[in-house]
Every structure is written in structure tokens, then in C-alpha cells.
């Protein structure tokens, strides 16, 4: 004998919906964290690349003029990419070894040397980052 149930409900229970929402929330959290880390890494690589280029341009200038400069206008070809960092040059100083991470602005006097720094712009994800490189290729990144 076959008994038919006329009140058979179709759909999801509240528990099933809550479990699915919890799983989606966990996946979203992992995705956002991963994305944030990837963008921060990309922005920092901008600073690393620009500081390395800046050091090479300073060395080229030194080879041609026997002096370093703290003026970006004296270095044709200096064109930093993007805009998450502010760059600065200091001449007559070098980084102290070992270089502090993060860079703490400690320098040593050295007449034939320079320090190039990249400082994260306030209000961006790299605010507070300070990276530095000197004429001897000592760096904190």
C-alpha cells in the first residue's frame, strides 16, 4: 500500500541556508585578505624597482661628473612609475650596517655616497613604509 504525503515541502531549511552563508563568508574573507596582500606586495615592488633605478642613475651620474646629486632634475631618465611613494635623495651620507628594517633614518657621514629613500604616501595602503638604498647597494628591502 502506497501512502502519499500531500504536504511535502520543497526548498531549503534555515540551517542549510546558514551553513551556505557561513561558507561564503569564510571564502570571501580569505579572498579579500589574499587580494590585499597581493596589492601591497605589488605597490612595494614599485618602490624597490624605482629605488634600484635611482641608484643606477646616481652611479651613472657619478661616473660622468664625479659627484652625486640630490636633485632629480640632474638625472635625465628619472621617471618613477605609479604614485604610491615619495622619493628623496641625500648626498654625503650612507646607511649604517646592518640596515634597520623598517628604515629608521640612521645615517653615517660619507662624502662620496648618497641615500635614496621611498616613503609611502599617507592615506594609501603603503603609508608608513620607508625603504632606503645607498651607494654601496645596502638596502632595507
pLDDT of residue 22: 96
Q: What is the pLDDT of residues 97-137, one digit of tens each?
A: 888 887 888 899 999 999 999 999 999 889 999 999 999 99
For the segment 43-62, the average pLDDT, to the nearest whole number, is 92
For the segment 84-98, the average pLDDT, to the nearest whole number, is 91
pLDDT of residue 134: 94
CA-angle at 21, arms to 18 and 26, nearest 5°: 125
pLDDT of residue 104: 86
Q: What is the pLDDT of residues 6-47, one digit of tens each?
A: 666 678 899 999 999 999 999 999 999 899 889 899 889 989
Tell whether the model's pLDDT for residue 81 goes beyond 70. Answer: no
CB-based burial label for 53 (10 Å; 0-12, 13-18, 19+): middle
Q: 66-71 contacts: CB < 8 A, separation 24 or more?
A: 68/112, 68/113, 68/114, 68/135, 70/114
pLDDT of residue 73: 86
Write down the domain spans for the chain: 15-134
Indicate the pTM of the whole model. 0.77
pLDDT of residue 1: 53
Amino acid at each position: 500500500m502506497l501512502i502519499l504525503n500531500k504536504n511535502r515541502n520543497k526548498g531549503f531549511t534555515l540551517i542549510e541556508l546558514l551553513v551556505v552563508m557561513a561558507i561564503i563568508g569564510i571564502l570571501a574573507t580569505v579572498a579579500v585578505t589574499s587580494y590585499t596582500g597581493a596589492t601591497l606586495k605589488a605597490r612595494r615592488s614599485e618602490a624597490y624597482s624605482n629605488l634600484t633605478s635611482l641608484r643606477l642613475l646616481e652611479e651613472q651620474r657619478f661616473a660622468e661628473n664625479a659627484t652625486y646629486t640630490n636633485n632629480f632634475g640632474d638625472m635625465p631618465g628619472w621617471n618613477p612609475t605609479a604614485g604610491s611613494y615619495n622619493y628623496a635623495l641625500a648626498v654625503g651620507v650612507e646607511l649604517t650596517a646592518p640596515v634597520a628594517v623598517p628604515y629608521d633614518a640612521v645615517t653615517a657621514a660619507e662624502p662620496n655616497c648618497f641615500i635614496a629613500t621611498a616613503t609611502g604616501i599617507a592615506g594609501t595602503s603603503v603609508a608608513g613604509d620607508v625603504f632606503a638604498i645607498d651607494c654601496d647597494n645596502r638596502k632595507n628591502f
